[in-house]
Amino acid sequence: MGEDFLIGNNIRLARVEKGYTQQELADLVSVTRQTIGLIEAQKYNPSIFLCLKLSHTLDKRLDDLFWKEGNNG
């Protein structure tokens, strides 16, 4: 631990399944649309708090939504 890594995620897919735009999802989890976009582009690692909010909002299990990049897709 300690090395830099990115968190892979299925946020975009899960969001589209629920019919949310980026802005709508951002409003639901109290972040900006830009942050959602960066998370989906895997350019920002969300905190565990935000990860839990997203999984709860998108009705997905945490490990179905997020993984350490390189392990799963």
Partner 1 sequence: MVKREIDERITETKRTVASQTCGILLWGILVLLLYRQFYLKQSFTQYADLFILWLFASAYLSLGTTLMGVRPFDRPFGKAIIVPVIISVTILIVNIYQSTISTFLEGFQVLVVAFVSALVCLSLFKLLYTRWEKKNIKED
Q: How far apart are CA 56 and CA 10, in angstroms?
A: 14
Q: End-to-end alpha-carbon separation of the chain, Å? A: 21
State which of residues 2, 49, 63, 70 lies at the interface with partner 1 (CB under 8 A). 49
Confirm or reject binding of residue 20 to partner 1 (CB under 8 A): no
**Are the C-beta atoms of 65 and 9 separated by less than 8 Å?**
yes
Establish if 57 lies at the interface with partner 1 (CB under 8 A). Answer: no
- Check binding of 35 to partner 1 (CB under 8 A): yes
Which residues are at the interface with partner 1 (CB under 8 A)? 26-27, 30-32, 34-35, 38, 44, 46-47, 49-50
